[in-house]
Structure 1
């Protein structure tokens, strides 16, 4: 079994450098999580928006019940969806998500996006998505400060060991740090060679905030969604620079892309359902890229963002 190093957060907690992403894991979710735990994964990145927390929790419970792992050995992550940003809505939905998972606490709980939307009762729509019940995207008046104060309350209650932010850019993160009583432990953002976000990574790490990359394979996850931006883009798995480096090390392109991040202390959370790929992702930690190879991969940057709300909603220019 691959030994996955741990990253120490700014609050003293430690989490694995490589984990398992649960976005789009909608079939046999409990089995996928259970088998990933058996393979050696200890970090699972979930969210309200993924709509699979109850099933993921079943996989965790099965592994714990069978003695494969102890709860304290796992890092379970979830996120606050946009429709629960008002201060009075944060604690109830966190408790609901914990109930779905069958847990007493989350190890990390993120603000999923820096945008507050009109409340939708999960009993009426789960996951609620971006639109209200009339199919419209309607913003609410909750500020980031209001939401973060409620997140701090979650931490005070012990419902989350670490609180964090996702999809925040530099200026917004700077503003948050001015009033935060509890500093965010992590920043989760889209990072891959086509969107290197080097300056944002440097800034966050300078502030002692650990960076967690999602969509490490660039367009790969979005090709399945048939988004033009992804289907018209050269796949990173087939890029000659990545391929040459992979061949030199006797590794796959996916392993090179993951190592490009983890070697710079950026956490990655790839998703895989095939048993061989589940193990291959873990084995990305078993070799090192040279400084020159890291530079060659970073030089592929195109500032090409795939998870950009205006592309699929027509509104909410979060990254403008």
Structure 2
């Protein structure tokens, strides 16, 4: 990984000829507790700070705010559309091929943009199509749908051909599921990325290596650990940012543990999308281009790996395409 990254120039190539900035702003916030306008203000500030990559999704219920912030920053001349990299996601209730394009068109309409830069399958397991993103039966059990990932992928390829997205990718796919796409007869567009949980306590060496061999960029979500929401997060793991190794390396560079954790991934070619709605942290998280870690420090951080997944999504573990039963 080249160490000459800068806050102005930190994009790396994708296998389809496009590029992706190594740091983006994650925009997920619990729609029930996040005040209206928070995502809008955060994205505007982030663009002023220098962020050019934004990671969002229809199911975050705030794409209208994210899109409005981007459009206003284009209108006031701060950025051009081609400076911005937006990643949107196909949710699990839209896997049937005939629903793929309408889902992407809904995201574009909500954002107020003509195209997204990257559109990814958010989770490999399909749910029952319909208006409810989290369909359940009368006993409170999730209602699943037969998944045909290859058919979904073909519908995505048509979206790229139509110019609705520049690139196509995956999220939460394990090796077997990625291979399914890569070996699909008549594959037209290869996935450029796989968005997975990735941080010093969960470094993903095997999946990372497999993706590298196949020229797929890894985008690391929860790069600082994650929220402590017990309904979907494994709380057995101690908070990552209190780790003594990260704290002590940070002291040497006058950085905090979060900046060290982000730099670690960026330096090994993993894109990071830390979510923050705090102006102070949005600024701090971007300040990772004025120092670099030594090989020894990189190895020390790699050694922190506990193989512990924060985001287990156990409520869907009985789905045939639940991705985390496999080793990687």
CA distance in 1, matches of 2:147, 2:206: 28
Counterpart in 2 of 1:265?
269
Is it true that 1:198 corresponds to 2:205 in the alignment?
yes
Q: Does 1:315 align with 2:286?
A: no
1:184 corresponds in structure 2 to: 191
Q: Distance in 1 between matches of 2:108 and 2:164?
A: 8
The partner residue of 1:250 within 249, 254, 269 is: 254
Q: Hey, what's the Cα distance between the residues in 2 that align with 1:112 and 1:302?
A: 25
* Higher alpha-carbon deviation: 58-67 or 104-113: 58-67
Note the C-alpha offset of 1:85.
Answer: 0.2
Specify which of 233, 239, 244 is matched with residue 240 of structure 1.
244
Which aligned pairs between 1:273-312 and structure 2 lie closer than 5 A? 273-310=277-314, 312=315
Query: Residue 96 of structure 2 aligns with which residue?
Result: 86
Larger RCO: Structure 1 or Structure 2 (Cα < 8 Å, ≥ 6 residues apart)? 2
The 1:178/1:237 distance shift into structure 2, 3 A limit, reads same
Partner residue in 2 for 1:8? 13
Displacement after TM superposition at 1:274 (Å): 2.3
**What displacement does 1:226 show?**
3.5
SS in 1 for 2:323: coil
**For residue 213 of structure 1, what is the aligned residue in structure 2?**
220
- d(CA) in 2 for partners of 1:19 and 1:163? 17
Q: What's the CA shift for 1:131?
A: 2.6
Question: Could you tell me how far 1:142 is from its partner in structure 2?
Answer: 3.4
TM-score norm. by structure 1 comes to 0.92
- Whether the aligned pair in 1 keeps the contact of 2:137 and 2:143 (CA below 8 Å) is no
Normalising by structure 2, we get a TM-score of: 0.90
> Structure 1 227/136 Cα, relative in aligned 2: closer, same or farther at 3 Å?
closer
Q: Give ranges in structure 1 of 5+ residues lacking alignment.
A: none
38, 57, 76: which is aligned to 1:66? 76
* Partner Cα separation in structure 2 for residue 19 and residue 205 of structure 1: 20
Q: How many Å apart are 1:102 and its aligned residue?
A: 0.1
> Quick check: 1:20 aligned with 2:50?
no
Listed one character per residue, the Cα deviations across residues 46-94 of structure 1 (whole Å, up to 9, x for unaligned) are 0122111111111111111111111111001100000000000001111
* 1:40 is the counterpart of 2:45: no
The RMSD of aligned alpha carbons is: 1.8
1:227 offset after TM fit, Å?
5.3
Partner SS, residue 222 of structure 1: coil
- Kept in 1, the 8 Å contact 2:233–2:313? The answer is no
Matched residues in 2 for 1:12 and 1:3: separation? Answer: 20
> Is contact 2:95–2:147 with CA below 8 Å preserved after alignment?
yes
Name the SS for the 2:129 alignment partner.
coil
The correspondence of residues 125-204 of structure 1 with structure 2, limited to 5 A, is 125=132, 128=133, 130-132=134-136, 134=138, 135-179=140-184, 180-204=187-211
The CA deviation string for residues 233-258 of structure 1, in whole angstroms up to 9 with x for no partner, is 22111111111111122111000000
Following superposition, the deviation at residue 314 of structure 1 comes to 5.9
3-state SS in 2 of match to 1:247:
helix
Can you list the C-alpha shifts for 1:186-243, whole angstroms capped at 9, x where unaligned?
A: 111000111111111111011111110000012xx221x1359654422111111111
Alpha-carbon distance, 1:265 to partner: 0.8
Residues in 2 aligned to 1:64 and 1:133: alpha-carbon distance in whole angstroms:
44
Q: Is the Cα–Cα contact under 8 Å of residues 245 and 256 in structure 1 kept in the other structure?
A: yes
Residue aligning to 1:101: 111
Compute the displacement of 1:171 (Å).
1.6
Question: Structure 1 228/168 Cα, relative in aligned 2: closer, same or farther at 3 Å?
Answer: closer
Gaps of 5+ in 2: 1-5
Hey, what's the Cα distance between the residues in 2 that align with 1:97 and 1:315? 29
